[in-house]
Structure formats: C-alpha cells, structure tokens
Structure 1
C-alpha cells in the first residue's frame, strides 16, 4: 500500500470509517475473516482517529483497501495534473474522464427521488447520510420538506451525481 508514516498520523472522519467498515464486510463475506475478527475490526474502525489505526486492520488482507490508504493526496486538491499543457480544475469534463464510474444509474436515482421523495434515490446510490437527512426532514415537516428530495432528483437527472463511494453515476 502507498502512504507512509507521515500520512498515518492524519485524522480520518466518519466517511472514511464507513468506507473501511464496508470493505471489512466484503472481506468477511468472502470468508477472509471470522465473525469475531470482523466484529473486532469494525469496532476498532469505528474507534479509529487516524489513518494508521485503519491501516493496521487491512495489513493482512488483500485489496480492496480503503482509498484513503492507497491513494496519495494531491498537494493542490483544487487542480488536477495538466491536460493538454494546462492544469485542469476539479469538476471539469477532462477530470471526470479519469474517475471510476458507478454501477448505479443517475436516471434511476433521479426518478426515485422525485417519485418517492423520502431520500429513496440517495438510498439507492448508497449515500445514506444524505438519504437519512432527507427522510428526517420530510417526516418532521409533515411532507413539506419533500421539496429538497424532489429538487435533488431533478439535479440528479440534469447533472448526474456520485454514489456513496464518490464514483460518478452512469
């Protein structure tokens, strides 16, 4: 794995812990971990504060590993490497050509968001954090908060979006 001791001291957030937990579940499903090992590693993942805490949990497992452990971060996150002699700002079409595509559909996610405005499309894409916020917002406002998921669905249909792992929807 890439990354070294200097990167192991960087703090991680909830999103990184969730990705690591999902990958541990995949390894458990493949039979690489016993139930006790899986539970122990997930507990340690949820308690992790820095990258090094998570790195040791994947040391004896084959890939996939959490992306934040394998991909070194760019010193200038607002600019990608040069394309055609010029730096490419993030979010442009040239940058999107180099990213992985999700197996989830932006059209399906958008239609689900509009037809069932309770965060259903976001649950479909795996973006559970946003989906739960949309569900709670809609329920607590007795349906008036459904405007947010509907607008989100329209935006998914127009611009696409990303799944829960940050990959572009197809």
Structure 2
C-alpha cells in the first residue's frame, strides 16, 4: 500500500527551503512581519509535509519544490520489429525512401540530389551552393554524405529511418 506523501517526514533541507520561500513571500509583501515569524516557526517545528503545506495553502506560487505533486510514471514502450524507436522515444514507421537510392544519387549527382530525394531540402540546397561556389570542389561533401548514407543509412525529412 502506497504511503500518503503528505505524511512523509521532512528534514533540515526541506525546512530551510520552505523558510526561504516564505522569505520570498514576505519580500513581495504578502506576509506581515508577525505572519512571517509565525509561519517560519511552524515550518521549523514541522515534522511532515502536511504541516509545511498548511503554511502555503493561502499563498500563490512559489511553493517549496518538495510540495509539488509527483510526476506521472509511464510504462516503457515496447519495440515493434517493423518500427524504429528514435532517441526521443517516438516510434515511427520506416520511410518509403530507400537508403540505396539516396546514397547513389549523392555519389552520382554530387549536387545534393540524394538529400532532395530524402526531403532534406535545406541541406541539399547548401550542398548545391557549396559545389557551385567552389567550382565543383564542394562536391566532396555530397560524395562523403553519399558514402555515409550507403554505409549506415539515415532518416528522411520526416525523421523516419530510410528503408534498406
């Protein structure tokens, strides 16, 4: 059976935080000197969160951080073999774009053609401009990018993993 969080005992760190926050309310003019002294004394004598919470019931934020409700916990996601989990936790279906096509376009047409294909328009335009401005030398960027796409794949413009 889960214990009521308000019944948990508090320590010196929690009392000091609550006193500091009461000082902020006093400085903002929400508490008189007498009220501030009474509330700080009650916080110093408090044994659990409920006794501290009483001192903040009629005050707006800020409140001590330990009085905030606990964050919800979620069950871990399970990986479906046809889906690709991304670092942020999103699960997206694989792209309809091919990594082989993207890589070959990058190698054979070194003007960002493979990146136009995958939907990375900004990157493709940058590769095109660098290649034009450097009289073709910038095509090395597209060439290396093509090798990387062929070797390790990548993602399309929507963040989905390129198809094998």
With normalisation by structure 2, the TM-score equals 0.46
Give the number of the structure whose alpha-carbon radius of gyration is greater: 2
With normalisation by structure 1, the TM-score equals 0.44
